[in-house]
Amino acid sequence: MKPKFELSNEQKDEMVQMIQAYFIEEQNEEIGNLKAMLILDFIMEKLAPVFYNQGVEDSHRYMAQKLDDIFEIQK
């Protein structure tokens, strides 16, 4: 099951504007709202889950280390 990311309309609008700004600054290309929204959809569907899963793994590793530290106190 793919994680579904829920964003508010304000968040989507801000991200679309950020994508448009990126294209202007880095690619010297102006893109419209539809193209920017399609790019955002692609990022959310294909790329965001990879970063999300990495964050979960990093958090798990950190918490496991801290639990090990706590149990060390008992020894």
**Mean of the per-residue pLDDT values for the chain?**
90
Q: How confident is the model at residue 1 (pLDDT cuts 50, 70, 90)?
A: very low
DSSP state of 3: -
- Please check whether residue 61 lies inside any domain of the structure: yes
Contact status, residue 29 vs residue 39, Cβ threshold 8 Å: no
Predicted local confidence at residue 2, as pLDDT? 52
Per the confidence metrics, is the pTM higher than 0.85?
A: no
- Please check whether residue 65 lies inside any domain of the structure: yes
- Please check whether residue 35 lies inside any domain of the structure: yes
Total number of domains constituting the chain: 1
**30-65 tens-digit pLDDT:** 999 999 999 999 999 999 999 999 999 999 999 999
- Please check whether residue 1 lies inside any domain of the structure: no
- Please check whether residue 4 lies inside any domain of the structure: no
**37: CB partners within 8 A, 6+ apart:** 12, 16
